[in-house]
Structure 1
Amino acid sequence: MSSTDVQTLMEMGFTQNRAERALAKTNYKGVQLAMDWLFAHEGDADIDEPFVAPVGHTLGKSSETESSQPMETSTQEPGPSDSAAGGEPSGEPAGPVQANSLKCDECGKFLRTEMEAQAHAARTQHSSFSESTEVIKPLTAEEKKEQMNKLQEKLKQKRLEREEQEKKEQTAREKQRRTQGKEIVSIKSKIEEDEIKKIAEQRRREKMDDKLARQRVKDQIEKDKRDRAAKFAKDKDVQKSNTAPSPSAAPVATPAVKKEYTDCRLQIRFPSGQPLTQTFSAKEPLAAVRLYIEMNRTDNQGHSL
């Protein structure tokens, strides 16, 4: 088999490694069988592994077996009827019929070798074959050329289909990438939005708590003022009634009553010299005094006491 077959397969788009492997697998029977084998075994895992030519065969030369045994077409030995027709019996029993080809029982196509039958089965999914004495004539130059054109067209079509499939897969991957990117951006935006809402809600609660605390202090101060005013008025009335002269009775000395102080009057002087005076309940917490000072100071020289 000439090395031209390797070059022909390479011109069709196959690598040299694949071309040499296909020709070796088909016993160097030509480009047609090599093409069929390549189409049938395109998805093999070892299709692109380095190929080593079989021992005893070199591309461009025939093997010893092929050179010593030229191809012959087998003929059927004459049977008993042939002997009778010739008028001269052979005296030996007829030998077995030799198969010259394989026939596909499903579509009726004749195939030269078992390798062609395997390639045909791979293409058509047919599985029923039988031996046949039909001798398949070799292809003419025009038939070989026509078949080569068909193979090249098929190879071109498969290449276009593969490129189209790759484009679709690339487009699908790009769409998936963009979708994932949008989802990631959306998730980040939602997390940031939730964090902002959480911070705003926390600040709102802090402001509300501070406002309520201030209102409670104001209410307590107003209550203390009212209580002190009422107590002062009551003490004044009692004092008047005790100091009024009695015409019929002599003044009687009354024992001094121990007073219990419930108020505390504080005077605070700011660094600016401005005084601040206020009366608080004796049980008033210092926090209320501090808040009152912060609310009423006008010197604006800090908030720490």
Structure 2
Amino acid sequence: MAEMTALESMMEMGFSRNRAEKALALSGNEGIEKAMDWLMEHEDDPNLDEPYIPPQGNALGMAEKTGTGEAELNFEENSSQIQQNTALSEEEKKEQLRRLEELMKQRQQEREEREKKDEINREKQRRKQGQELTMIRQKLQEEEMRKIAEDRRKEKLEDIRAKQRVREKIERDKAERALKFGGGVMAMATPTPSTPAIPQSTQTPPVKREYDECRLQIRLLDGTQLTQSFKSREQLAAVRLYVQLQQADNDNFNLMTSFPRKVFSEEDMEKPLQELGLVPSAVLIVCKK
């Protein structure tokens, strides 16, 4: 579709042809905005709706005053005015027509150059916006990756802290058992006053001893043997956790006794060592599931 002229645009906006032509011409053909400003200033003119009659004279000068688009569109009209101007000789008419053609070509070339520059500027703007959008996307991706890495680091740090708490608890238990065991040895070494022997007939039957500790010998998958003491009331799960911390394959194993042969189940993990018959001492074998 051909580009709409300024005159057609103003008529499309509701102005009469006479008003539009007069406003464009008398505002110097500098565009619709100037023409509308002129109409507002001359709204009360009594001859506003009369047909516009261009002044007679140098038609080439009129063409030079017009804008690029209007000059090209009014080429035939300006040529006609030159031909009808009786004040000019034939040579002068030819000269003005030649200059008018050169002016039209110059205006057309200037318009094409402007259009090329506008197209180049639009392309630059489009590329700039594309680069900015790409940078924004990359920044969002980098922020997302940093957030994921930070979350993983926090999870790993929390896991390390949890294992460290378990190790500290085991070390505290070891220290308490060592302290208690050492105190027992000292008590045994301390001499006690001798007491007269009690006749056999008056001695009371021996009471079954209650053991507070359980000493376990644990044989790992690689053949390593460990000896560790636990409270008799501790659950078998504490022994399993201890084994997990001692070997690389943390989870894929079971605990069993060789004699009598018994593989402990998940339910047994919640039972105390005393209830499982491992007190005061026992041998546990680590076997694969």
Would you say the 8 A contact 2:217–2:226 is kept in 1?
A: yes
2:132 aligns with 183
1:110 aligned partner, one-letter code: Q
Work out whether 1:263 is the aligned partner of 2:204: no
Structure 2 residue aligned with 1:210:
159
Q: Distance in 2 between matches of 1:162 and 1:303?
A: 80
Q: Which runs of 5+ in 2 are unaligned?
A: 10-51, 68-83, 254-289
Paired with 1:253 and 1:43, the residues of 2 have a C-alpha distance of 134
Question: C-alpha displacement at 1:224, in angstroms?
Answer: 0.9
Note if contact 1:269-1:275 (Cα within 8 Å) is conserved in structure 2: yes
- Cα distance change, pair 223–256 in 1 and its aligned pair in 2 (3 A): farther
Mapped contact 1:264–1:280 kept (Cα < 8 A): yes
1:221 match: 170
1:110 to 38, 42, 56: 56
Question: Quick one: which of 233, 246, 249 aligns to 1:296?
Answer: 246
Which structure has the larger Rg? Answer: 1
Gaps of 5+ in 1: 1-17, 19-39, 46-101, 125-134
CA distance in 1, matches of 2:98, 2:145: 70
Structure of greater relative contact order (alpha carbons < 8 Å, 6+ residues apart): 2
The count of residues paired between Structure 1 and Structure 2 equals 188
What SS does the corresponding residue of 2:154 show, helix, strand or coil? helix
- The alpha-carbon distance between structure 1 residues 259 and 123, as it changes in their structure 2 partners (threshold 3 A), is same
Match of 1:199, SS?
A: helix
Partner of 1:167: 116
Give the structure-2-normalised TM-score: 0.50
- Which deviations, in whole Å up to 9, do the C-alpha atoms of 1:169-209 show, x marking residues without a partner? 11211211221122122112212321231232123212311
Find the aligned partners of 1:266 and 1:294 in 2 and give their Cα distance: 15
- How do 1:223-262 and structure 2 match up within 5 A? 223-236=172-185, 244-246=193-195, 260-262=210-212
TM-score (norm 1): 0.48
Q: Secondary structure at the match of 1:110?
A: coil
The answer to whether the 8 Å contact 1:267/1:277 transfers is yes
5 Å-filtered alignment, 1:22-33, equals none
The superposition leaves residues 14-55 of structure 1 with CA deviations (integer Å, 9 ceiling, x where unpaired) of: xxxx9xxxxxxxxxxxxxxxxxxxxx947747xxxxxxxxxx
2: distance between equivalents of 1:279 and 1:137? Answer: 129
CA distance in 2, matches of 1:286, 1:157: 100
Percent identity at matched positions? Answer: 43
What secondary structure, in the 3-state scheme, does the structure 2 residue paired with 1:144 have? helix
Looking at structure 1, the residues matched to 129 and 155 of structure 2 have their Cα atoms a distance apart, in angstroms, of 39
Q: 1:157 to 1:287 in 2, by over 3 A?
A: farther
Conserved 8 A contact 2:213-2:232? yes
Query: Which of 225, 230, 239 is the equivalent residue of 1:275?
Result: 225
- AA at the equivalent of 2:145: I
> Residue type matched to 1:178 in 2?
R
1:293 Cα deviation after fit: 1.7
User: Structure 1: which amino acid aligns with 2:252?
Assistant: S
Structure 1 residues 233 and 42 mapped into 2: Cα distance closer, same or farther (>3 Å)?
closer
Letter in 2 for 1:200: A
Quote the Cα distance in structure 1 between the aligned partners of 2:237 and 2:119: 71
RMSD, aligned α-carbons = 4.2
CA–CA distance in structure 1, aligned partners of residues 238 and 163 of structure 2: 9
